[in-house]
Amino acid sequence: MNQKTSFNAKLLMVAVASVFLVACKSTPVTPAKVEDKSPAGASTGADSGADTGAIKEVAIDSSANSAGNSALKDPNNILSKRNIYFDYDSDAVKAEYRPIIEAHAKYMQANADAKMILQGNTDERGTREYNLSLGQRRAVAVKNSLNLLGVKDSQIETVSYGEEKATQNCAGDSCDKDRRVDIVHQGD
Amino acid sequence: MKLNQFNLVKSLFFGAIFFFNAIAHAALEIEITGGGAQQIPIAIVPFGGAPFGGAANTKDNISEIIAADLNRSGLFRVLETRGMANLPTSPAQIKYAEWTALQAQAVTVGSVQSVGGKLKVSFHLMDALKQTQLAGMDYQISPHQVRTTAHKIADIIYQKMTGQTGLFASRIAYITKTGKRYALQVADADGYNPQTVVSSNEPIISPAWSPDGSKLAYVSFEKKKPIVYVQSLTSGSRQVLANYKGNNSAPAWSPDGSKLAIVLTYGANSQIYTVSSGGGDLKQITKSTAIDTEPIFSPDGSQIYFSSDRGGKPQIYKVPASGGSPSRVTFEGGYNVSPRFSPDGKSLAYIRNDGGAFKVALQDLASGQVQILSEGNQDESPSFAPNGRVILYATKVGGRGALAAVSSDGKVRQRLKDSSGGDVREPAWGPLAK
């Protein structure tokens, strides 16, 4: 990841304001006397963050990781299967995914230095932060299955994308693909 | 949109059309879809001085900005001034009978003058019946501060005429998704002057303003996992606030800005922690095997409210901000999440799943009474205006993310459309400008 700070000169507007409140209470019909106290009051924009001052933009360019272990990439190897799907509102790992989880468990045990990330996902229904937590619960469910098969906690990180990768405006079956855990190996 | 539910006052509608020219350049266009039952008739006479009260180096027209703000609140009926024989620019020039004939309760007059490279803005708010001054202000500003100054004047008018603190001179933060690019943006509360704070090809969620409005905390997935950052708006410097194993999310500032509540998971479910605003001093606040997330401090800083499924379905709970035993806050409805405090601490907005439709609910904490305020099916992220009178939230319009706002009494509705065609979400309303 490269972090690039771009600077837009057009946006550099240092707030220099002197603002004076005059005669707020009711006064006779004659115009209020307007006082100018600016020489003492001019100040530079130390608090311009709360004003409509300039904002410095930060642009993040993510770079793809390099290729990893070929067994993990081989489409004929079960290790290339990386998605565990869940029922609606459920974090139960279904029996049909046991062969995939067993294969990854075997790989992790054979490669003691290998690390994996389990990324939980939800469909878009519900609020983003709550879905982040629901996705996490699914990632933890897969981690627990891997733990039972002998994979150490130190090799696994569970994270969640919540609904961030979900299909927009999903309906019926298209929501089913959103409720899943993605298995990501280090170097993928 | 249910226009017929509300008494859309004709003149308000024409007023809004009149100002469409003025808002055509905004990235977020604001459409009013309802009005308050009682609207204060007010004349905002065009400011004298530089062309139309604008100024060299700026297209901004002070009286139009003020009028647009007041119209948008739904609490005012801004009277048409075109065609009037006399357009006063100082209180002495006002012929009050002409304005009271239009039912004006108040008249504002003002002028803009160039003084060196600066602008001198004078403004008077006059009671049309008593013919007395309600407020008078004199500002010396730089040309780029015209809009902010107009919003501050609108806030003074709002405060004098309604008795409530204003809200116009403030900013909103929100996330846009355009193509594959995510951006955290900040704009004036009227949608003008949008500026990108940070942009990324990975998701950005959960922006949270520091109490002084100088920084935003947010969650970025740029490293393929949620990490909490704090970024200064003026310098652009960003700091990792929390990057622990697992998820780091849901930042919420304490009212004094000294710490933030965050959610961490390590290898298990979401739990609430506090961390000092400079990072470090990590303290675990909730300890459960359930989901505990979406923390928010009460305005007095003593409590943290949060959503949790510890009782089966998600509900809102509270816990002392220093830790302790949680107690349940919401009992009605099977799914209540995303709590947000009104600035006075008297009510709580949150999202309720109402038979499969997610809507903004507002609960009076003393009486426990709940009102459903929003009309969408996928409404999220409620956020109070700094004066507590309006709640901004995320909704969907035609399958796309958009922002909407509703007055806390449910009577005035606005929709903010992004003219760039992207998705808009995750709004957070910042504090009033000083």
From the list A52, A58, A136, the residue facing B188 with the nearest CB is: A52
pLDDT at B24: 37
Count of CB contacts below 8 A, A vs B? 243
Q: Where in chain B is the domain with CATH 3.40.50.10070?
A: 38-162
> What pLDDT digit, counting tens, does each position of A62-93 carry?
554 445 567 888 889 999 999 999 998 889 99
Q: How confident is the model at residue A173 (pLDDT cuts 50, 70, 90)?
A: confident
Architecture of domain B170-432: 6 Propeller (2.120)
Q: Give the closest residue to B185 by CA, choosing from B231, B139, B247, B130.
A: B231
- What is residue B399's predicted lDDT score, i.e. its pLDDT? 87
| Contact check, Cβ <8 Å, B141/A23 | no
CATH 2.120.10.30 intervals, chain B = 170-432
Return the pLDDT at A62. 57
Q: Which of B81, B83, B111 is nearest to B99 (CA)?
A: B81
CATH class of the domain defined by B38-162: alpha beta
Out of B146-150, B189-193, B235-239, B250-254, the most confident range is B250-254
The mean pLDDT value for A151-165 works out to 96
For B18, the token pair is 């009149």
Interface test with B, best of A5, A22, A27, A129 (most B CBs within 10 A): A129
Count CB neighbours of B368 within 10 A. Answer: 11
B144 and A CB contact within 8 Å? yes
The nearest alpha carbon in chain B to A21 belongs to: B137
Q: What is the pLDDT of residue B68?
A: 94
**Bridge partners, residue B404, by sequence:** B393, B415
Q: Which residue of A has its CA nearest to B353?
A: A126
Domains, chain A, with CATH or none: 1-63 (no CATH), 70-185 (3.30.1330.60)
Predicted local distance difference test score (pLDDT) of residue A116: 96
pLDDT at A40: 33
Arithmetic mean of pLDDT, B141-162: 95
A52, B45, B171, B334, B345 from B213: Cα distances, Å: 10, 32, 9, 35, 19
**Would the CB atoms of A27 and B267 count as touching at under 8 Å?**
no
Give the model's pLDDT for residue B27: 64
For A34, phi then psi, to 5°, come to -100, 120
Q: What is the pLDDT of residues B196-228, one digit of tens each?
A: 999 999 999 999 999 999 999 999 999 999 999
Look at residue A29 and tell me whether its pLDDT is greater than 90: no
Distance from CA of B143 to the nearest CA of A (A): 10
